[in-house]
Structure 1
Amino acid sequence: MSDEGSSVSSIRFQYNGVIGNGCISWDAHSCVPLLASYRLETLHRHRDAGFDYVSINVGMDANPTSQIIEVIASFREQIEQIPNIRFADTLSDVRSAGAHGQLAVGFDLEGAVPLAGDPKNVELFHELGVRQMHFAYNRRNEVAGGCYEPDAPLTKLGLEVLLACEEVGVIVDCSHLNERSALAICDAAEKPTVFSHSNVRALNNNLRNVTDEMIAACAATDGVIGVTGLSNFTPGKRAEADAMVEVIDYLCERVDIRHVGVGLDYVYDVELDELPEDCDPAYWWPLEHGYGEDFYKCSKFTPPEAAVQLRECLKSRGYADVEVDGIMGQNFYRVAEACWQT
């Protein structure tokens, strides 16, 4: 084992959620290839880095529903079989995973296109394991406006989807939305909303990042902004823990620390091609917004192993232990308590 791996393992007892200090360590969003054949044993990296829970993407607006269902079926079956990983249908599953040194895994959808225009399908995806959902992914759809189409509104159908999410227990995620739609969702929401993996526009002027108005609106719902380590959206485009802490500092200067969390947006095995044949990458990830011709394969990602360094950076900046625990998971756990209903 490498020195880095030994270091992570040696402090797992101290840092890993319930095992160490009674707190949950929560990554609100990371990604694996959307392939039914992909093996989820790789998620042990999250566990070994000290996470108790990770939400992984099982589909987005660019993916056909048939692919998403195949991925969900495969991933659910695998999770039942892989040692030290369990599916998180409920918060009890999350707590139990942490208490037994396991990783709890949940699903999220990046966009509402898979609902096929019917809010009732929110309940269907909830039954399949989805516990968090975006309303649009970068572009507009019939529900809401993506971040790269700033004038597209939240629609009447979008309000119905919002109600459906709150009724069945799906966290409403405003990442990848434009300001207009995100503010409308936050204004209409009866439960906490989140930006699971979004940084701040004042530190990196990309439309995928959130404005001060979006930050305030999310906090007003008692929600959480999850800071991401993806280089395209960090200060100085650095995939480093200290860049994430810069974003955390900015947020904590404007809203209470209870509204700040972590959503790494780490992509496992990024070299694997998962996109449908008819998917145009330049449409979903526009070149003019800094993505490049092969964005994900040339971007830098802050890995789950950086959680240890992130904690240390926060402590070195003067954050108290209870504040670090909140940022590293307890704040998102609180939102899940309010939204999941189980």
Structure 2
Amino acid sequence: MADVDLLTRYQRDGGAFVSVNAGYSPHSFNATMALLAHYRAAVDAHPSMELAASSDDVAAITGAGRIAVVFDLEDSRPLDNNLDNLVTLSELGVRTLLPTYNHANRAGHGCLDTTDCGLTAWGRAIIAEMNAVGIVPDGSHCSPRTGLDMCDTSSGPVIYSHSCMRAVWDHPRNITDDQARACAATGGVIGITGVGIFLGPNTPTLEAMTRHLEYAVDLVGIDHVGISTDFSFDYADFVEELTRNPHLFDASYTRWGAIQWMPPETLLTLGEHLTERGWSDEDIRAVLGGNFYRVAQRAWQA
């Protein structure tokens, strides 16, 4: 488990908002609960951080120059097939959850599957309960059909918290124009990620990120585009595992060598980069957090 102090790398001037992953496809409900307990205690003990239970909390914490922290889950496996666990997870600060992580499970299909049957009845039940308890449905890592079905099913905004545009770079983890339009129609946001292999041929640069941002803005409008870097603070362990056991990973993850991520320090200069490209201050604020904050205001208050 990464040290939460590393999250301060996302803070330069003033406050910051971060979502920490607390579980994905290998994790049971109990394992996720243990991770949440660990991270919540660590955040509580850190002088620069505070857990955010509401969008108002986010505004207050960041307004005071501190880091507001919530949590996310990648895959529905941590639910242990029990919808009631969503209430508990919401109460502990989980604010986004994606039903599938790359591959099919009981909820639906993933982006790396060769078949795509979309969201299942169980997956639809998960989305409905997430809407009820204030957890935002996230289509990242899901198959195109699953993502579209999520948008049809959800009564609130659906997001792609960390996904890039397939029309810019043809990678199975990236989303289609149809997915982006459906997301925007729910009031959701597409968060362009800083993972090199999703931006281009392992190119975690501001220029590559901006190509995806500007394409998405042209496609769905400024109100539905954001950033979410998907930075892995334990990336050295991940790269070592990928190098030692490449057979465990899809070829789309390995063909460009060790995955490169955009460092937090680079991300913090994105605003200046967009200014140099002629973006307005209002549009920059929207993409750097304003749009995701609007989703939080609408969806977290269930």
Question: Normalising to structure 2: TM-score of the pair?
Answer: 0.93
> What do residues 245-275 of structure 1 show as CA deviations (whole Å, max 9, x unaligned)?
1101101111110000001011113224699
Report if the CA contact (8 A) 2:10-2:265 is conserved.
yes
Q: Quote the sequence identity (%).
A: 33
1:239 aligns with 2:204: yes
How many residue pairs were aligned? 298
Measured in 2, the distance between the counterparts of 1:83 and 1:65 equals: 29
**Letter of the structure 2 residue corresponding to residue 187 of structure 1:** D
3-state SS of 1:253 partner = helix
3-state SS of 1:167 partner = helix
Report if the CA contact (8 A) 1:242-1:310 is conserved.
no
Give the corresponding residue for 2:297: 337
Q: Quick one: which of 78, 96, 106 aligns to 1:114?
A: 78
Give the corresponding residue for 2:270: 310
1:60 aligns with 2:20: no
1:123 aligns with 2:87: yes
3-state SS of 1:336 partner = helix
3-state SS of 2:274 partner = helix
**Letter of the structure 2 residue corresponding to residue 253 of structure 1:** D
Report if the CA contact (8 A) 1:49-1:304 is conserved.
no
Aligned-pair CA distance for 1:66: 3.1
Runs of 4+ off more than 6 Å: none
Measured in 1, the distance between the counterparts of 2:275 and 2:204 equals: 19
3-state SS of 1:55 partner = strand
1:228 aligns with 2:188: no
3-state SS of 2:69 partner = strand
Give the corresponding residue for 2:103: 139
The 3 A distance-change label for structure 1 pair 235 and 158 is: same
> What do residues 10-33 of structure 1 show as CA deviations (whole Å, max 9, x unaligned)?
xxxxxxxxxxxxxxxxxxxxxxxx
Give the corresponding residue for 2:254: 291
Report if the CA contact (8 A) 1:140-1:152 is conserved.
no
Measured in 1, the distance between the counterparts of 2:173 and 2:129 equals: 25
Measured in 1, the distance between the counterparts of 2:17 and 2:11 equals: 8
Aligned-pair CA distance for 1:313: 1.8
Task: Give 5+ residue unaligned stretches, structure 1.
Answer: 1-34
Give the corresponding residue for 1:271: 236
Report if the CA contact (8 A) 2:19-2:69 is conserved.
yes
Give the corresponding residue for 1:9: none
Give the corresponding residue for 1:209: 174
The 3 A distance-change label for structure 1 pair 128 and 188 is: same
3-state SS of 2:71 partner = strand
Equivalent positions of 1:140-155 (< 5 A) are: 140-149=104-113, 150-155=115-120
Aligned-pair CA distance for 1:115: 0.9
Give the corresponding residue for 1:321: 281
Measured in 2, the distance between the counterparts of 1:177 and 1:143 equals: 10
Measured in 2, the distance between the counterparts of 1:291 and 1:307 equals: 24
Report if the CA contact (8 A) 1:107-1:131 is conserved.
yes
The 3 A distance-change label for structure 1 pair 281 and 125 is: farther
The 3 A distance-change label for structure 1 pair 281 and 88 is: farther
Measured in 2, the distance between the counterparts of 1:40 and 1:156 equals: 37
3-state SS of 1:205 partner = coil
Report if the CA contact (8 A) 1:86-1:97 is conserved.
yes
The 3 A distance-change label for structure 1 pair 308 and 39 is: closer
Measured in 2, the distance between the counterparts of 1:319 and 1:274 equals: 35
Report if the CA contact (8 A) 1:248-1:260 is conserved.
yes
Q: Quick one: which of 51, 64, 76 aligns to 1:100?
A: 64
Report if the CA contact (8 A) 1:260-1:327 is conserved.
yes
Measured in 2, the distance between the counterparts of 1:336 and 1:104 equals: 13
Aligned-pair CA distance for 1:198: 0.3
